[in-house]
């Protein structure tokens, strides 16, 4: 069966050759032997240049100083070194929390939703996206802690029997948040690990020294027996289906942090889906950003990650950008039409207050630029342009959260207590530090975890066939299970 995967020889040259070529590329109809793919992946993993170590070193120092150093200083002096003040009790700590939790939606979206719906183009980059989920959550889960006034007693949010007879308040959205983020972090980490088992076994068989010891431990003695594959398939199926509602619940609950409050501009029933769409928009953009960077910097990745994938994700991005605009407009329209005095003043404040430029940059990056560029196949296949567009979308999404959190908070019901918020240096340093942490973790993982699920790619290549229909060929995908 694998033989049929190969391109049909002597295909009649037709004016549609370019389209055919795309098809081939789309589902990777140019299979290479498994050994070669393994070798390519192992190579990308073990190959390090001095430049890589310099970047890692710089990132490590930056993380240590900008994130942990400043955080430690803040713990010892007080949260006051941030720019927060009455009435802006939440600033970019919470903005960053929402941002990173949003980023973490990408992996699950790519590898669970696309897996369940059998979108075949997902195969080569599921791992890259799942890693983003895990590390995005690792960076995001820091923020609720950084943001606490007394972080050393954060464990009071954990339900456990104690000498105080007190349990957490399960009516508080922050406890839901805590539970949801914990659930999502654990399940997405496991969901990263399960499909990794065969690849870890592959790495185990091809390494020596400390790597071998670690892979041997992590691969759990994977041999590839029928029972093991069967079990893995069952577990992945359970995960793929169960993790989707968990993913939706996480960002819905994050949105409820705002929506359940009576605060003007927050109390909106549409916040749940609006936040989810925003999260997927920023997450998928981040996936594209990372894929472009991986393709450019990681060895052998141009075979696995192709312009076709970026093209396909670009189409998704256009759809999500439109969906985001729809939800944004819906939220705006209903709030504005409702005519509540406080909400109307907030909406006016967003668009014409001293921070209005943030609101306009948000609309520019999230709507205008994607709509103007992503419709074009040619532009979608231009990596540097896609890099700019996707980075722009993430800037726009950051600004969206910034508009919703500190700017809205500054303009509430008591006009005497209106205020503005400007982040101070320590906060900005922490925000940059978490970005450094994310990049550092990702870079380290890229040299430790096989970045391409070779067995999934192989499985895909076996499932795909080119079928001749009349004068052209069409791809067909068979069910493997």
**Residue placing its CB nearer to other proteins in the complex, 335 or 412:** 412
Report the nearest approach of other proteins to the CB of residue 126 (Å): 15
Report the nearest approach of other proteins to the CB of residue 272 (Å): 12
Q: Which long-range contacts (CB under 8 A, 24 or more apart) does 326-333 make?
A: 327/270, 327/273, 327/274, 327/277, 327/278, 328/274, 328/366, 328/367, 330/270, 330/274, 331/268, 331/270, 331/271, 331/274
CA-to-CA dists, residue 312 to 123, 133, 308, angstroms: 12, 20, 6
**Residue placing its CB nearer to other proteins in the complex, 155 or 384:** 155
Binding flag, residue 180, other proteins (CB under 8 A): yes
- Of 29-37, 289-297, 311-319, 364-372, the window that binds other proteins (rule: CB under 8 A) is 29-37
| Residue 297 phi, psi dihedral angles, 5° rounding | -110, -30
Helix (H/G/I), strand (E/B), else coil: 413: coil
Given candidates 9, 117, 153, 469, which one binds other proteins under the rule CB under 8 A? 153
- Of 106-114, 123-131, 174-182, 430-438, the window that binds other proteins (rule: CB under 8 A) is 174-182
Binding flag, residue 149, other proteins (CB under 8 A): yes
- Of 122-130, 146-154, 273-281, 344-352, the window that binds other proteins (rule: CB under 8 A) is 146-154
Q: 259 and 272 in contact (C-beta within 8 Å)? A: yes
Binding flag, residue 455, other proteins (CB under 8 A): yes
Sorted by sequence, the CB contacts under 8 Å of residue 293 that are 6+ apart come out as 387
**Residue placing its CB nearer to other proteins in the complex, 299 or 424:** 424
- Measured CA to CA, the distance from residue 410 to residue 349 in angstroms comes to 10
**Residue placing its CB nearer to other proteins in the complex, 396 or 426:** 426
Residues 52-81 close enough to bind other proteins by CB under 8 A? 77-80
Instruction: Return the closest-CA partner of residue 195 out of 250, 104, 245, 128.
Output: 128
Binding flag, residue 170, other proteins (CB under 8 A): yes
CA-to-CA dists, residue 189 to 67, 99, 181, 203, 441, angstroms: 23, 19, 12, 19, 14
- Of 163-171, 329-337, 394-402, 464-472, the window that binds other proteins (rule: CB under 8 A) is 163-171
Binding flag, residue 118, other proteins (CB under 8 A): no
Task: DSSP letter for 14, please.
Answer: -
Binding flag, residue 459, other proteins (CB under 8 A): yes
Given candidates 117, 166, 208, 339, which one binds other proteins under the rule CB under 8 A? 166
Report the nearest approach of other proteins to the CB of residue 209 (Å): 8
CA-to-CA dists, residue 449 to 149, 193, 197, 269, 445, angstroms: 36, 10, 11, 41, 6
Q: 358 and 399 in contact (C-beta within 8 Å)? A: yes
Given candidates 100, 109, 178, 328, which one binds other proteins under the rule CB under 8 A? 178
Binding flag, residue 113, other proteins (CB under 8 A): no
Q: 202 and 38 in contact (C-beta within 8 Å)? A: yes
- Of 297-305, 344-352, 364-372, 444-452, the window that binds other proteins (rule: CB under 8 A) is 444-452
- Measured CA to CA, the distance from residue 66 to residue 435 in angstroms comes to 10
Instruction: Tell which phi-psi region holds residue 451, choosing left (phi > 0), alpha (psi between -120 and 50) or beta.
Output: alpha
Residues 255-274 close enough to bind other proteins by CB under 8 A? 257, 260-263
Residue in the block written with tokens 């953009």? 285
Report the nearest approach of other proteins to the CB of residue 398 (Å): 20
Residues 225-254 close enough to bind other proteins by CB under 8 A? 225-235, 238-239, 242-243, 245-246, 249, 253
**Residue placing its CB nearer to other proteins in the complex, 282 or 461:** 461
Given candidates 84, 308, 311, 427, which one binds other proteins under the rule CB under 8 A? 84
- Of 128-136, 152-160, 269-277, 343-351, the window that binds other proteins (rule: CB under 8 A) is 152-160
Helix (H/G/I), strand (E/B), else coil: 423: coil
Residues 275-314 close enough to bind other proteins by CB under 8 A? none
Residues 337-396 close enough to bind other proteins by CB under 8 A? none
Report the nearest approach of other proteins to the CB of residue 142 (Å): 15
Residue positions counted in the chain: 481
- Measured CA to CA, the distance from residue 221 to residue 414 in angstroms comes to 64
Q: 445 and 45 in contact (C-beta within 8 Å)? A: no
Q: 397 and 282 in contact (C-beta within 8 Å)? A: yes
Binding flag, residue 165, other proteins (CB under 8 A): yes
Given candidates 128, 386, 404, 409, which one binds other proteins under the rule CB under 8 A? 409
Given candidates 147, 380, 411, 464, which one binds other proteins under the rule CB under 8 A? 147
């Amino acid at each position: 069966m694998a033989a049929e995967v190969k391109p049909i020889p002597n295909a009649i040259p037709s004016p549609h050759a370019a389209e055919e070529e795309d098809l081939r590329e789309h589902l990777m109809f140019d299979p290479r032997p498994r050994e070669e793919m393994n070798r390519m992946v192992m190579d990308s993993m073990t190959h390090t240049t001095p430049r890589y170590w310099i970047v890692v070193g710089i990132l490590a120092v930056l993380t240590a100083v900008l994130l942990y150093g400043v955080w430690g200083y803040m713990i010892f002096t007080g949260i006051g070194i941030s720019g927060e003040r009455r009435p802006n009790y939440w600033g970019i700590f919470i903005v960053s929390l929402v941002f990173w939790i949003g980023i973490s939606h990408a992996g699950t979206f790519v590898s669970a939703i696309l897996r369940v719906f059998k979108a075949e183009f997902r195969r080569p980059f599921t791992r890259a996206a799942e890693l983003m989920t895990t590390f995005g959550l690792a960076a995001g889960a820091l923020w609720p802690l950084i943001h606490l006034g007394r972080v050393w007693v954060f464990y009071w949010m954990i339900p456990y029997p104690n000498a105080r007879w007190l349990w957490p308040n399960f009516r508080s959205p922050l406890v839901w948040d805590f539970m949801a983020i914990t659930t999502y972090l654990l399940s997405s980490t496991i969901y990263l690990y399960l499909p990794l088992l065969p690849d870890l076994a592959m790495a185990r068989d091809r390494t020596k020294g400390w790597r071998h010891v670690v892979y041997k431990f992590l691969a759990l003695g994977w041999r590839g027996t029928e029972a093991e594959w069967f079990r893995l398939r069952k577990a992945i199926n359970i995960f793929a289906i169960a993790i989707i509602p968990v993913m939706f619940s996480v960002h819905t609950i994050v949105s409820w942090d705002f929506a359940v409050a009576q605060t003007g501009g927050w109390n909106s029933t549409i916040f749940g889906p609006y936040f989810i769409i925003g999260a997927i928009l920023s997450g998928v953009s981040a996936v594209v950003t990372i894929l472009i960077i991986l393709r450019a910097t990681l060895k052998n990745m141009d075979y696995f990650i192709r312009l076709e994938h970026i093209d396909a994700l670009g189409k998704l991005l256009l759809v999500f950008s439109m969906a985001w605009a729809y939800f944004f407009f819906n939220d705006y329209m209903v709030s504005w039409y409702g005519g509540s005095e406080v909400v109307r003043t907030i909406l006016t404040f967003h668009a014409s207050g001293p921070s209005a430029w943030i609101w306009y940059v948000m609309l520019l990056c999230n709507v205008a630029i994607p709509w103007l560029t992503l419709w074009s196949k040619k532009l979608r296949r231009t990596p540097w342009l896609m890099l700019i567009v996707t980075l722009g979308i993430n800037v726009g999404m950051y600004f969206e959260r910034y508009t919703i959190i500190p700017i809205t908070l500054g303009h509430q019901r008591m006009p005497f207590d209106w205020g503005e918020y400007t982040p101070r240096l320590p906060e900005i340093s922490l925000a940059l530090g978490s970005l450094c942490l994310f990049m550092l973790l990702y870079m380290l993982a890229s040299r430790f975890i096989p970045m391409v699920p070779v067995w999934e790619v192989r499985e895909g290549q076996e499932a795909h066939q080119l079928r001749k229909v009349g004068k052209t060929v069409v791809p067909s995908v068979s069910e493997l299970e």
